[in-house]
Amino acid sequence: PLQSNFKRFKQGLQLMHDNKVAANSETLVHLINALGECGMSKTILEILERLHDNYDDIEGKMEPIQLTDDIGISFADWSTPRLDTSHYVAAIKSCLLRNKLEDARAILALMRDHGIPPTSECLENFAFTYAQAAIRAVPKKAIANQNEDTKSVAASRAQSAYTIAMTLQDLSTTVLAKVALACAKTAQWQNARTILRHLHSNLLSRDTPLRRREVDLIRGMHSTLIRECVHQRNVTAALAYANDIQNFAGLVRTTTWGEDNRGRKGKFSDESLMTSLREIQASPPSSFVGMRSEDWVALIKSASSAGHWKVCVNTLQFLRPHVQRTNPHARRNASLLALQYDQLVPA
């Protein structure tokens, strides 16, 4: 089907040529996308080189060229517009969408050689693709059981994604979430935490409230990071992420609902786990971005695997709202359960 679509595209180009309709910037973007759809990323690079080399700097116009023979386009008398940033961006994006990293890097290098600085969109696409590639390079089994080559490739790609992400401003929430996950899956815990905090800071600096899609994305990222800690048995990272997540949720409550959350920042420890359950219950479910019941369960699993039983016991309190909400018997005996819990915690 892709070859058939490209055949129709060539027929459209032929009609333009026969009717003396000049190609414009959009025509080139469509040609680049059509070649990318057919997996012809190397041909895209060749066309970009030819178009740039055939621009007459003195007269300021494109000389007629023969685009390329191997794709059946041979318009030797058809002038095309000068290349601009949009064409390089389209070419890079087309390659990255199909995981043609080497070709995308070659086009980026060509873009720089031609004196066009890479755009934020280009680099953002690179960050997302590197993160995606890192995640795919990590098998589902524990990272400790991987061979060194596999771990090295995955870690290198995650590090590249992190480096690019940290050099850009106003990255999308989707890209930051993907980079954080790639770092966590390759055991780059501090990098993942830096990205997590960067994302939280970006969202808190806005004047507008979180959109529903953003809330769902943030919840998913939080849960995935905690589960990854459990998967790799790293309770230290899990506690650090839980601390950042709860601080972020508290600040969101402060800015959105006007609640006083001062004095909540600090090192996450057994004592700081003893936060108010009333705040968790008071937050509207549709906008809550803190640790949820499944996240606390994952944290308990991580702590138990490392033998941190005090953390396990102290974390049980955060499951109380979930138990009371889903267990009618627990709701009827809430006061009795509260008394038993208060007796259990000091022990």
Give how far Cα 16 sits from Cα of 26, 129, 185, 347, Å. Answer: 13, 35, 50, 82
Please give the full DSSP string across 151-217, using - where no structure is assigned.
HHHHHHHHHHHHHHHHH-SS--HHHHHHHHHHHHHTT-HHHHHHHHHHHHHHHHT-SSPPPHHHHHH
The answer to whether the CB of 40 falls within 8 A of the CB of 71 is: yes
Q: Rounded to the nearest 5°, which phi and psi values hold at 270? A: -60, -40
- The three state secondary structure string of 282-308 is HCCCCCCCCCCHHHHHHHHHHHHHCCC
Q: What is the pLDDT of residue 188?
A: 94
Selection from 109, 107, 114, 108 nearest residue 54 by Cα: 114
Q: How far apart are CA 123 and CA 111, in angstroms?
A: 12
The answer to whether the CB of 56 falls within 8 A of the CB of 62 is: yes
Mean pLDDT, rounded, of the chain: 77
Amino acid at 246: Q
| pLDDT single digits (tens) 145-177 | 455 666 788 899 899 999 999 988 778 889 999
The answer to whether the CB of 60 falls within 8 A of the CB of 94 is: no
Q: Rounded to the nearest 5°, which phi and psi values hold at 33? A: -65, -40
Q: What is the pLDDT of residue 73?
A: 60
Q: How far apart are CA 207 and CA 255, in angstroms?
A: 9
Phi-psi region of 157 (alpha: psi -120 to 50; beta: other; left: phi over 0): alpha
Give how far Cα 117 sits from Cα of 67, 105, 124, 254, Å. Answer: 25, 14, 14, 41
Positive or negative, the Cα torsion across 22, 116, 29, 55? positive
Q: What is the pLDDT of residue 183?
A: 95
Beta bridge partners of 73: 68
Both structure tokens of 64 = 């007629």
The size of the chain, in residues, is 347
Q: How many CB atoms lie within 10 A of CB 232?
A: 19
| pLDDT less than 70: residues of the chain | 1-5, 54-80, 140-150, 255-287, 321-338, 340-341, 344-347
| pLDDT single digits (tens) 227-253 | 999 888 888 999 999 999 989 988 887
